[in-house]
Amino acid sequence: MVQTRASVGGKDAPSVDSLGPSSQRAASTPGRKRAKSEGAAPLALSHLGLLLVVIFGGSVAILGYVYTTFPPLPRDEVQHIKLPSSLEDAQNLFRVLSLYREQHFYQVVGAYFMTFVFLQTFAIPGSIFLSVLSGALFHPAFALFLVCLCSALGASLCYLLSMLFFQSLLLAAMRKLKLSERRDSFQEQVEEQKGNLLFYIVFLRVTPFLPNWFINVFSPVVAMPLTPFFFGTLVGVAPPSMLAVQVGKQIEMLSSMQEANPWQPKNVAPLLIAATLSVLPILLRGRLNSIFGGEKKPKKQ
């Protein structure tokens, strides 16, 4: 076998083949370690993805079990349980659900609660429809409380999932999607508002600066404490939820044969007030941003 030698400083350096067995194993060890470390990250991420699938599947199974144990509807009413595509469909749907609610109030509240929290926990669209539905099914005050509570609990569960299991997965995804700058900006704002985090979360919830799913998922990544996160969400979702509840109440009135004219001033006034309260933070966006956003400090040279 021909052995090659490298010349270093005029002297021949020993080749790898000329080294002993123990020296060859030592020389190859760093390469093996690098190979293992390169394969460890994808393996860890795959385990996290599998864990998320298991948690999601278990939640779906529990939710399905709750619905399968519901008392059955009369056959002639089952056809109305569908997403409404017209005003008549909406009227029939809310009429059937109202009758069912009167007969099985606690089952309806329990199923509504679990469905809303499930959607919020996994950032699945559809909670706005449930907010409108609450206004048609329940008293406005109870409906608003239920929507705010479900929103806060679901957002907090999403926060906990992110904090306990998926921070490394999220950071890898942000690097891949080039969202690191957005996360860094959010973290800077949280650090600036350390003594005012409760009102800062309220501010984020009532204004469209950041989407709710982004706040829920990345708050633990930027070290946002859970307590102000929960209570800030509980209060901050109230203005837009109030509007959704009032919309549901108006639809419930349209489906009621007892209400001759649902567009009377006494019925329209709460809807206008709720709409004003929900839009007010957007109109005052500049002022709120100057209060909670803070002025960016110049970077030191």
**pLDDT, tens digit, for every residue of 150-197?**
999 999 999 998 888 777 777 776 777 666 677 777 788 888 878 888
CA atoms of 23 and 43, how far apart (whole Å): 31
Q: For residues 220 and 253, is the Cβ–Cβ distance under 8 A?
A: no
CA atoms of 37 and 7, how far apart (whole Å): 33
CA atoms of 3 and 271, how far apart (whole Å): 88
CA distances from 13 to 9, 19, 26, 30, 89 (A): 9, 11, 17, 20, 86
**Amino acid at site 168:** S
Tokens at 179, concatenated: 């969202």
CA atoms of 169 and 177, how far apart (whole Å): 12
pLDDT for the residue numbered 78: 80
Phi, psi of 274 (to 5 degrees): -65, -40
Residues of the chain with pLDDT under 50: 1-10, 13, 16, 21-43, 257-260, 295-301
What are the residues whose beta carbons fall under 8 Å from the beta carbon of 176, sequence distance 6 or more?
Answer: none
DSSP state of 71: P
What are the residues whose beta carbons fall under 8 Å from the beta carbon of 16, sequence distance 6 or more?
Answer: 24, 27
pLDDT for the residue numbered 164: 82
CA atoms of 137 and 15, how far apart (whole Å): 82
Could you tell me which residues are beta bridge partners of residue 8? 11
pTM given for the model = 0.70
pLDDT for the residue numbered 264: 63
CA dihedral 206, 226, 56, 204 (to 10 degrees): 20
Q: For residues 292 and 203, is the Cβ–Cβ distance under 8 A?
A: yes
Q: Which of 117, 118, 98 is nearest to 108 (CA)?
A: 98
CA atoms of 176 and 183, how far apart (whole Å): 13
